[in-house]
Amino acid sequence: MSINQFLPYAFALFVVIGVLVFFKRYADVFIELKKRELALLEEKNKPVKNKSAYQRLSLFLERIKPSYLVTKFDKDLAPHEFVFLVEKAIQQEFEYNIDQQEFIPTQLWGQIVEVKDEVLFVLRKSLEEIDTSEDLQVLKTKFLLSTMENDKLTVVYPNLQNELNNNIRN
């Protein structure tokens, strides 16, 4: 057997290896470009997700405002029933919005949780401070007056709006 017999096969093998190397490089470049494109699309859509998160949390803060809560339920409820329903509504609203925490700063999320806890604490405290024979209107009045003394909501809500505005600009 002579080496001349293998030359066509060697040439074909050389061409095939060259083509494979070319396609490998092409595929690597193509994959890298697609990764960059996906990263740009994610970055482009991020403010939209953030805006939605801020809007949902802003709505959550509106819904746990004491002035909103006192008008939400029937006037004929007993005070303890009102407290139970308000606690349940706040907790459900909070659980619905809990996944939004990944789109906002940790400090702001902590403030929102504090506001929720403060509203629930003041509501329970107001119930404890009224006489059991008092009607619901007395509880609502006590609740509203208690929240006016130390209203964290008036601090957190503007923080949320400022953070949203800063996020939209960037």
The pLDDT of residue 48 is above 60? no
Give the pLDDT band (50/70/90) at residue 32: very high
- On whether the CB atoms of residues 122 and 143 are closer than 8 A, the answer is yes
Q: Is 25 exposed, middle or buried (0-12, 13-18, 19+ CB in 10 A)?
A: exposed
pLDDT band at 144 (very low <50, low <70, confident <90, very high): confident
What is the span of the domain harbouring residue 119? 46-169
Task: Give mean pLDDT, residues 62-71.
Answer: 88
Write down the H helix ranges in 64-105.
Answer: 66-72, 79-97
With bands split at pLDDT 50, 70 and 90, how would you rate the model's confidence at 47? low
What is the distance between the alpha carbons of residues 73 and 76, in angstroms, rounded to a whole number? 9
Q: Quick one: average pLDDT of 56-61? A: 89
Give the tens place of pLDDT for each residue, 114-128. Answer: 989 999 998 999 889
pLDDT at 3 over 90: no
pLDDT at 43 over 80: no
> Does position 151 have pLDDT exceeding 80, yes or no?
no
- As a whole number of angstroms, the distance between CA 153 and CA 115 comes to 6
Separation CA 91–CA 89 (nearest Å): 5
DSSP 3-state of 102:
helix
Most distant CA atoms of the chain, gap in Å: 113
Residue 14 inside a domain? The answer is no
Give the per-residue pLDDT at 146.
82
Structure tokens at 108: 């702001």
pLDDT, mean of residues 41-64: 78
pLDDT above 80 for 5: yes
**Structural domain tally of the chain?**
1
Is residue 145 a part of any domain in this protein?
Answer: yes
Non-local CB neighbours of 122 within 8 Å, separated by 6+ positions: 66, 143, 146, 147
**In this structure, is residue 25 part of a structural domain?**
no
End-to-end CA distance of the chain: 73
Residue 18 lies inside a defined structural domain of this protein: no
Q: What is the pLDDT of residue 150?
A: 65
Assigned domain for 91 exists: yes
Domain-embedded: residue 28:
no
Question: What does the pLDDT average to over 85-113?
Answer: 90
Is 156 a domain residue?
yes
pLDDT at 29: 92
Residue 100 inside a domain? The answer is yes
